Structure 1
Amino acid sequence: MPDSREKKDFIKEKVIEPEKDKKQILRQIGKRVLGFSICGFVFGICAVLAALLLSPLLHHAYPKQTQEVVKIPKDAPDVQEGDETTSAKETSEPVADIVQSAIQQYRYSAEDFANMISSLSEIGSDLDKTIVSIQSVKNEKEWFDNTVPTTGVCSGIVIASTDSEYVILAPIKATGGADSIEVTFDNGVVSAATVKGVDKITGLSIVSVEKSNLEERTLQSVGAISLGNSNEVRRGQVIMSIGSPMGMVHSTSYGIVSYVARNMSVVDGTARFIYTDAKLDADSGTFIVNVKGELVGFAVKTSEKESNDSRRFVVYGISDFKNILERMSNAKTSPYIGIQGAEIPLNMREAGTPAGIYVTSCANDSPAYVAGIQVGDIVTDVGSISVKNIGEYKKALEGLNVGESISVKVRRSSVGKYKEVVFTVNVGAR
């Protein structure tokens, strides 16, 4: 029987591999490094070529989402009629007399009237490319819990065009609370739209249509209207109402500016009211243009009870609201306190009434109303800014942020004296 110890000794023996040549090892390592380098270089070349070839396709399929800033130029402050210097009046009066005399002597014919209407009609036809039809769908539950879609149609007008979108002004009645919105352009093309901003005070909203959803032929046929200066509108001028003045999209009405009311008190500021005999329908979307084809105003509803259509609507001059329109166009909210007021005239200030904004009304459930500001209070400070007139009040308001808490100082009449009261107001959104 073999000795078991010999087996164990055999198991314990070490197997010694032959010593490798160091140069051979270095050559093997070099080959591997070179192979990896070549593979990496080839892979890099392929990646670059693939990126160059696929970049246009990816850019088209997934366009870069950059938020462009919409800029709306502001207008110079209103210049009251009769502010010209004496020398200017003396120079212009003879010319005015000559023009007036010539007009009185000229006999207008039916052909002249027809030519004027034809010119206005051409302006209206050219502006059709700026008018869109907006259809909104709102899903509501009926008594048996079934979903019933309700639709609404109104007019909108393209007020800005960027590289990526069309910015459309429309009544809030058509867009507020809608589950889906579609825009139909003048050439019949329909596209989905989204709401960028709303203003409950004026009843307006801003709707956006992405250009990436439209074909080239539609992009070529749509245009944005030029925004005019409503501070230049005067009594007696010819204007046009476009959109849906007759309740139907792409209807048109002509008229004369009957009266212009400046510095009318509105919520958190003043505005110019333009009265006209042209047809208006704020609910369906009516926009006022001058004979240059510029947008100078929009119709708003003044009363739900008034049966006379001419009194139910009034035109707001667009110059007073360009800042709000710009903020809505960029998906920004506008600060809101909710007071209507009037400036304290000089004779009352000299008699001892504090300078500031006399509160004539507070909108229901507005930040000012909730804070406790009352009719008859005189607002003297908004935040850290002293306000003595409407212009200073509007400037102070524009510097606020929605959601912040500010202090509003008022002077309140009490037993023949004015005492200072400070309110904490939570700034809301229009």
Structure 2
Amino acid sequence: MNTVVITGCTVADGRAAEGASPVTDAAILVQDDRIADVGPRRDVLGRSSPDATRIDLGGAYVTPGLVNMHTHLSLSLPGTAGDQVKDLNPYELALYMADGARRTLHCGVTTVRCVAEKDHADFALRRAIDAGRVPGPRVFTAGRALVCTGGHGHEGTDTLECDGVDGLRRGARAQIKAGADLIKVMISGGIAGRHEAIDTPQLFADEMAAVIDTAHAWGRKVTAHAGPAAVIAQAVELGLDCVEHGYQLTPEVAALMAARGTALVPTLLVTRCKEFFDELGVPEWMQCRSLGAGPAHLESFAAAVAAGVEVLLGSDMPPYWSFEGTNATVRELEHMAEVIGPARALYAATLGPARWLRADADLGTVEPGRYADLIAMDEDPLASASAFRGVRWVMKGGQVVRAEAAAGGRRHA
């Protein structure tokens, strides 16, 4: 058994949003890929073997690894950079996604939820990561997103066009057959569709019900790309588990979501990322639609928070992408924290997603029995979400995958 003792740290996790206090002068005992013990340093050291490998983090703050709930490792938006991704052959695409997975892990994102990837390459990537052949985060994936003929995202191989009740049922079952952990469905237009608007309804009620009922029968949750309040309300009434974006929520629909337990992944970045769009050569029509939706998008998020909707971290932009002085995951978390505060932001990036994924027995907190997916930084994440800009140490499953010197100087791991 590989045994590691981590010291020189303060441990904090998403339970702080529920009243738990961080553990100062803490130690974490890791055995193989799991946390075996955590608590005050003196207590943990007294219960651990003297032969255990020691890692001193030099006063860092340790949290669980981040969970990004809206990830596209094969993203190809309209524009020159997106066209280059679309032109990759299957072998090049696999390598491109593997590189993105490695970058994502090094950012401190130890788990992702993929919500539409090209050609089912996400399943091959997940197998390679699980087998240890490729470094990357834990992958939960929807496979290809379901979309009506000509609907949002229909141009790419990361979606599957389906129509009618029978077509949508077959589409959902096809993703489950491939190994999907959840189902993603496009129920409205969005910002990246040339011939649609954000508020264009794209599925009828019986089609939405077919997806939701089929997925639930197979024990899978359903998340929906959705913008307008009326469409979201209809889907929530039918049992939808999660909304992506929610550009045009109203207080009434937010209250309905809260009452039904429907979560929101707001992806605030996608309506405030002109620098990213310019870098990718995104056309003017899409930039105008996206950036123009920004004020209402932020109002919708505030309405959801006020109503008590469970809000979860998801960047939509590739999670590792360098943006505004940090990576896309952290920048999204900073935007969220401006409304919900740093403690709730930490919850939205760790324990909240783990619970939605039904993986909180394994992920989301620094507790015995959970995977040793841990990250360290020098600033306090309960004081500011910007602390995550300074992630300098990453462990996944008991293995250190990134280790940099503390701000004061010496390397600790």
Same fold (TM over 0.5): no
- Give me the TM-score of the superposition, normalised by structure 1: 0.22
- Give me the TM-score of the superposition, normalised by structure 2: 0.23
Higher strand share: 1
Higher helix share: 2
Bigger relative contact order (CA 8 A; separation at least 6): 2
